[in-house]
């Protein structure tokens, strides 16, 4: 049986291609790269797709992609439902989300820990309770101190950032997903 991996992209469906929805952008890019069809699944509350893919570490991986339909700050219950219905183990889940604290186009990987002020991540942690040790791919969106953070994160992502996360940045995401799969095999 191939290793299983759930990749969740946080975002707000009414605001596509904004900085706050970079998790959705990356899940969509992964779906395109691996030919995974995403469709609405009301029982888990979002768009989900699955395929066994040859990738990451030149091995077959059972990859499930998920984009919650709920607004980011209340997305935790649907993420917990997707986890229960797919990979079961939090360490086999990667949550991709925006980070004001990281420079633009930077990918920072973290296992467990606090939400660091991110309400979407806080909602996921609250829904999972004590089992909140999942991987986080924090996607740097930078910060413009002259603009209100709420307005900044809901502004459209510049074209160069969109292209990055559909190209070189996506290659880096795939490389890090390979590392997650390898670490999980060692457990």
Helices 119-128 and 76-85 pack at an angle, to 10 degrees, of 50
Active-site residues, by number, are 20
Please state, as a whole number, how many other Cβ atoms lie within 10 Å of the Cβ of residue 168.
11
pLDDT > 90 in the chain, percent? 87
pTM, two decimal places: 0.96
Check: CB of residue 63 under 8 Å from CB of residue 36: yes
Per-residue pLDDT, 131:
65
Opening angle at CA 35, ends 104 and 81, nearest 5: 75
Q: Which tens digit of pLDDT belongs to each residue from 115-169?
A: 999 999 999 999 998 767 999 999 999 999 889 999 999 999 999 999 999 999 9
> Would you tell me the crossing angle of helices 22-34 and 168-186 to the nearest 10 degrees?
80
- The domain segmentation of the chain, as residue ranges, is 4-186
Answer whether CATH 3.40.50.1470 is correct for domain 4-186: yes
Phi, psi dihedral angles at 105 (to 5 degrees): 70, 10
């Amino acid at each position: 049986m191939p290793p299983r991996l759930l990749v969740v992209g946080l975002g707000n469906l009414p605001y596509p291609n904004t900085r706050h929805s970079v998790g959705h952008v990356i899940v969509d890019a992964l779906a395109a790269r691996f030919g995974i069809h995403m469709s609405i699944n009301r029982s888990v509350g979002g768009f989900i797709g699955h395929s066994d893919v040859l990738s990451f570490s030149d091995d077959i991986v059972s990859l499930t992609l998920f984009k919650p339909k709920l607004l980011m700050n209340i997305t935790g219950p649907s993420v917990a439902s997707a986890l229960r219905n797919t990979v079961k183990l939090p360490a086999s889940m990667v949550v991709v989300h925006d980070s004001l604290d990281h420079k633009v186009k930077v990918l920072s990987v973290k296992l467990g820990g606090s939400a660091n002020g991110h309400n979407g991540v806080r909602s996921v942690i609250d829904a999972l309770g004590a089992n909140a040790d999942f991987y986080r791919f924090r996607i740097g969106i930078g910060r413009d101190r002259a603009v209100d953070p709420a307005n900044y994160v809901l502004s459209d992502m510049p074209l160069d950032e969109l292209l990055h996360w559909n190209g070189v940045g996506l290659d880096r995401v795939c490389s890090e997903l390979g590392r997650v799969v390898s670490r999980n095999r060692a457990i």
